[in-house]
Structure 1
């Protein structure tokens, strides 16, 4: 009932009898009396309720339990961390290297590598890896496993807590004086109860203060553009032991053209295999070539000595020398057959042209030009001169003013030319194994008394050199037989129309002065000629293509002097012919032109030798002379 309804009922003249009736509640006096609510005062009714009900108590209890669990976990983890820190810390596993920080190259060095585990826990799978440069050679130590040229390791296994140990590494450093090398140690391990791997490192630097091999490089102090220069490399074993498998390598300056070396280079004109060098043993290498450059340029030549392992040079010592390019008032150059660089063959005629010039601003008196041509393969009887005189003892041609009038006073910027020729011997002088790899070296020089000689410097004499390598001479012998001991033949002699007759062809090669590789002999059989398949020796690498009628004999490498100083490679094979009626009364072809080809390993040129075709006119077989033409 709304308040408005109650108000209307109250003020009616006749109020409803049931106006005071209402639903029983805690506000009813009779009810309140029984429940005690009516006895509460005003303060009791508005007072804050004390305590928590059951739901609130349960929630609080759960929160407290969760907090205690989390706190327990945190405390446990912290305690575990503290305990682990007490049992293991990476910084408590250490290594150190002790030993000499200065060393004489080639002397035995001893290094002590100490390792220590200050943890309570043991460390397992401990490996001590040692790394070093290629020019440090470790000795064979107990427990040391060499992995490659620059590293090895000690397998330490388990290192107990609160323990330490050491290993010894001996070795020798082979380095140039002043080199700084580093030995590095790395300890890798797993602490007990850990899956992670830990590592600690240490290193020591070693300064090399001396070298076991003395090396000296000599070069001219100065040279003019295009001059011939000689470099000399001196070496000596001043160490305490034999040094094995030594190699010397030279690094030439820019614009240096190699001409020759004594002894000859082992490879690439700049590397020499010295082999073993005894205590106190010494040697030298002299290198010649032309040096070009602009005035005031400094040209440096370097040399290194060491060993070569797996294609890499391990240097024991290195030195260098410098040459200054200076101005020369005289210049000279030469060409052979119009070229400055060339290889020549036996029986070649060499046409020389010498060009000279006064580059200065004043004339030069009494100029002399010389040309030295010294080689055992030259035929000096064929020398043709345009003036000048030849001294057979010094193998030198000299031109003076009496030969060329302009040399009396060569004016400023004046130039001139000289021509002469000489022939290479047809038969190269090969009498023993050392007679190989021939080189014709020619050196032209020009000088005048008016050219000054500066104090503390070399006299300025202009020169120019050419080195010509001589190709090996190849030859191929082709012979045919009917009566042959290696492969017997059959059929009518003279050959008869419609009937088969067989012949044996012999190939024999000759190689004179240089080693060769990739040697092959090949020929084409005429259509009417075929191989039977019989060859000698039976293991000869001889192939026949029936479709092209090509025969190829693969020989491979052939040493110099084969056929002169040693036996020649030789093979034989059988061919057959069946003459046709149109061939009656004529000789029948057995073999086409034979070609012998190979690569010269000294001059690096491809060489060829050829032999003429072969037919049934086999003059080398006396048993069938006059029986070479086909009959009916």
Structure 2
């Protein structure tokens, strides 16, 4: 029976002897090494011989034999063969296409249409430009419905009527056969600025047989405007005195060969320049219609104005002349000339300043009615050239000016027009020749009107306008008169007043107690305050006073609408007036008044005396016009009253 596919040995089978192969020398050596029965024999040791070898310190160069190229043909893959075939097909197709185009066909190309333009390259503005135009069709097909379209620069006019604008021109040419030529002349009047380059665009529009598409071939002719159509000139100084009148003359001249129709001028004035007048008058701000200008004809415009600015500032005046498309616009549609002038702002030729009270400016100084005001006028020649025949005039005016209260040192007051004058005759020749940078002083003294003369006058002032004139050499070495102006005014403060009285017999609140006052007995009085004001409103007005320790506050006030308070800690009585109006208590009007009651209890130490009833009376507030505080103080009120029926003995304390 087979077990696992292996037949067991049967009887009768002869056992096979194992076959051993020769293990070889290595095998025998291995058996000898690991065998316990056999031990390796001892062999004698032999000495080793010494050996030295020199190691090279570089790689050296070993010639490499040349590689022999194989003479057998290289084999190519199938994709490479296909790529080579495709490249050959592309080259052949391109060559056939080029040959097709060069050898002639019915395809039309715009670059095979020649447009030749012959004419001048330089022209004067307003001159008629004449150009010869030749069209040649080098295609093998006919150009149908051909039109020559000429586009001119803006502002071009018709040669037959320069008043008519001609911006484009279309000339029908019909059909142009292969190899055919069309020639013609175009004429136009060009206007432009000096040195401006203008382009004339010439285009040929055409169609092809069997196609509705529009094709275009173009060419350009450039012309230089050697002489501008219009020229602008401005006559004025390169420097202007701030605040002084400035005179400018603008001249527009036609350099055209033909009439410039409907010419206009527009001015662009800088910041700070105010136009006073123009001749002719401007239609709108800075725009003038010049009309038709013949060749060589000019138009002149005079502009008067005033330039304001700081010393060293630059202002640029710009002028543009040209034509407009319609009369309804105030713009220069076609610019034919441009001009600009930079003007430097300088100080007045004669710098003038005023000091009031010998040290204050007009903004700082406040005059008082009836008080003299000394005024110092300082001048200086700010030019780099001398001035001759200088005249300084001060015009005095204002509601507070008194023509009878002025005194001029080294000058003359002309009362007919209220002018104080200084010139070379009044200053002993000081103003006859004023060198560059020279300076000096002039003096005058005035007294504002008194308070009684300012009744019903509100916010009075005194105004001084300084005018100076002199001769200098202009930039053209021509003597010219220049002027300088300074205008200032100073304010006059209001003149409030405070009056206080103590009453016994005339006390509207009633008085009781012995008279004359008796020691340790109370006598009551009425205190009346009256305030007046002349010219300016006084804000936050109030009257304060203090009661001595022997005087008692009774608390009765009339009228009750007046706000009167008493501070027991310091004995201060305060009348809060608020707004004290001008013309209060003057010119027949009633003053503002209040009455309050007090009680006097005299001491033995006051016997034979007339002690004060109220002390430190003071009116304070803020002048609303001059923005300065006002303060009026009056003396103490004692037991000596000023009533009609009051005798002197009634005011002395008795035991």
- TM-score with structure 2 length normalisation? 0.47
Greater relative contact order (CA < 8 Å, ≥ 6 in sequence): 1
* TM-score, with length taken from structure 1: 0.48
Which of the two has higher C-alpha Rg? 2
